[in-house]
Amino acid sequence: MGPIDRTEIVDLLSALVRIPSVNPRMGGGSGEEPLARFVADLLRAMGVSPAVTEVEPGRPNVVATARGKPGAGHLLFEAHLDTVSPSLGQTDPFVPRLEGDRLCGRGACDTKGSMAAMMLAFASALGCAERDLTVSVAFLMGEEIGHEGARHLATTGFRADGAVIGEPTDLDVIVAHKGVVRWRMTTVGRSAHSATPQDGVNAIGMMARLVRGLETQLAPRLDARRHPLLGSPTLSVGRIAGGREVNVVPDQCTIDVDRRLLPGESWASVRAEIETVVSAVASETPDFSATIEPPYQENGAMETAEDSPIVRRAIAAVRRVDGQHHIRGVSYSTDATWLSAVGIPCVVLGPGRIEQAHTGAEYVDISQVVTAAATYREMMLGR
Binding stretches for Zn ion (CB under 5 A)? 110-111, 167
Nearer residue to Zn ion within complex by CB, 131 or 178? 178
- For the CB of residue 156, give the shortest distance to Zn ion in the complex, in Å: 22
CA–CA gap between residue 15 and residue 7 (Å, rounded): 12
- For the CB of residue 23, give the shortest distance to Zn ion in the complex, in Å: 10
- For the CB of residue 83, give the shortest distance to Zn ion in the complex, in Å: 8
- For the CB of residue 128, give the shortest distance to Zn ion in the complex, in Å: 28
| Phi/psi at 246 (5° precision) | -65, -25
Residues in the chain: 383
Nearer residue to Zn ion within complex by CB, 143 or 378? 143
Nearer residue to Zn ion within complex by CB, 111 or 136? 111
- For the CB of residue 167, give the shortest distance to Zn ion in the complex, in Å: 5
Burial 339-364 (b: 16+ CB within 10 A, else e): bbbeebbbbbbbbbbeebbeeeebbb
Nearer residue to Zn ion within complex by CB, 167 or 378? 167
Which residues contact residue 322 at a Cβ distance below 8 angstroms, ignoring those fewer than 6 apart? Answer: 171, 371, 375
Q: CA separation (Å) from 307 to 23, 315, 326?
A: 36, 10, 14
CA–CA gap between residue 65 and residue 122 (Å, rounded): 10
- For the CB of residue 169, give the shortest distance to Zn ion in the complex, in Å: 10
Nearer residue to Zn ion within complex by CB, 33 or 82? 82
Nearer residue to Zn ion within complex by CB, 31 or 205? 31
Q: CA separation (Å) from 72 to 26, 69, 179, 240, 307?
A: 41, 6, 32, 53, 19
DSSP state string for 57-76: TTEEEEEEEE--STTS-EEE
| Phi/psi at 245 (5° precision) | -140, 155
Nearer residue to Zn ion within complex by CB, 112 or 377? 112
CA–CA gap between residue 267 and residue 273 (Å, rounded): 10
- For the CB of residue 22, give the shortest distance to Zn ion in the complex, in Å: 13
CA–CA gap between residue 109 and residue 255 (Å, rounded): 33
Q: Are 47 and 106 in contact (CB under 8 A)?
A: no
